[in-house]
Amino acid sequence: MTSTPSIAVVLGTRPEIIKCAPIVHECERRDYPYAVVHTGQHYSDELDSVFFEELDLPEPDYDLGVGSRPHGRQTGTLIAQIEPILEDERPDAVLVQGDTNSALAGSIAACKLDTQLGHVEAGLRSFDRDMPEELNRILADHASDYLFAPTTESERLLQNEGIPDERIHVTGNTVVDAVQRHADIAAEESDVLDELGISGFRYAVLTAHRAENVDDPDRFQSILDGVGRFAADRGVRCIYPVHPRAEKRIAEFDLSVPEGIELVDALSYLDFLRLEDEALVVFTDSGGVQEETCILGTRCVTVRDSTERPETLSVGANILVGTDAEDIASGAAEMLDRPVDWACPFGNGTAAANILDAVSADVLAEVA
């Protein structure tokens, strides 16, 4: 090792691009050598490139283009492709983020080599082992040398699993870094409200893409019905930037989309951030959206049976309602009665700096 650590960042989905962007920016600010390995796990290369552009990121050093495959085949393919890249790059630390197959594959490839592995957003737990994401995050945590926990709650969960304190670093969440950097830009540059014909705080937003929701016709229909009921009761439109997988399931299951829900194509990062920021309420099954709405001061209704972001519930920014239509509508009505005065539990926007500080401290210790 030299006194300046070299970093490899493995990412593959749009939430990972958003949350790893502050780390790349911090590497550039410090003049640390780094390489970005983009697995191409998400479904739209074109929109991924828009995210890189909007987040002011350089093109990835490696673009694997794995695409959509069954979990085991996708993960195995990625391990085989990532390993020789790490052997060539020989980074001091490999950073993976979150709970995707890309994060798991990067973790397995790194921990088999002579390099340190850091898991960004470590310690999140839904306690639902039927979710593939839950297994991915547990395996990544227990393989890692650095566990970058976003909150003291996630630190506690890692300690309860027997992970030594010296491997755990409470850093805050890099999503705060990203939102703080880009929210004002989105407000100035995004025309999405005009393009959709909506005005601030007179619309709702829906995101639903998780397999346990959209692959189950009864659950998916119930979500649509509950959101539609709320939209009708409040006299507002609900904008649903629909994931291609979910759009396919709507057609395949012949689901009825209530009149108040408007399906639109997937949005760029700045457009979606603006949409979240001025929404009356956001319905979601996304962990990242739960965080972003909490940071932005937008009320959130989570259409899942569990969440690995309990901090959003504790501060009052979010309510967990499941997928029953009546519970969704009544939960949203309850959220509208809550004041928007919570404190963000995910840090102050210095997570990327804290992460690189921890890696740098070990590098300096080894060369001292």
40's CB contacts (< 8 A; 6+ apart) are 12, 48, 63, 64, 65, 66, 67
- Determine whether 271 is exposed, middle or buried from the number of CB atoms within 10 Å of its CB (0-12, 13-18, 19+): buried
Specify whether the CB–CB gap between 319 and 301 falls below 8 A: yes
* Three-state secondary structure string covering the chain: CCCCCCEEEEECCHHHHHHHHHHHHHHHHHCCCEEEEECCCCCCHHHHHHHHHHCCCCCCCEECCCCCCCHHHHHHHHHHHHHHHHHHHCCCEEEEECCCHHHHHHHHHHHCCCCEEEEECCCCCCCCCCCHHHHHHHHHHHHCCEEEECCHHHHHHHHHCCCCHHHEEECCCHHHHHHHHHHHHHHHHCCHHHHHCCCCCCEEEEECCCHHHHCCHHHHHHHHHHHHHHHHHHCCEEEEECCHHHHHHHHHHCCCCCCCEEEECCCCHHHHHHHHHCCCEEEECCHHHHHHHHHHCCCEEECCCCCCCHHHHHCCCEEECCCCHHHHHHHHHHHHCCCCCCCCCCCCCCHHHHHHHHHHHHHHHHHC
Specify whether the CB–CB gap between 61 and 37 falls below 8 A: yes
- Structure token digits, residue 120: 């960004």
Alpha-carbon gap, residue 316 to 345, rounded angstroms: 11
Place of tokens 């639903």: 208
Active site residue ranges: 209
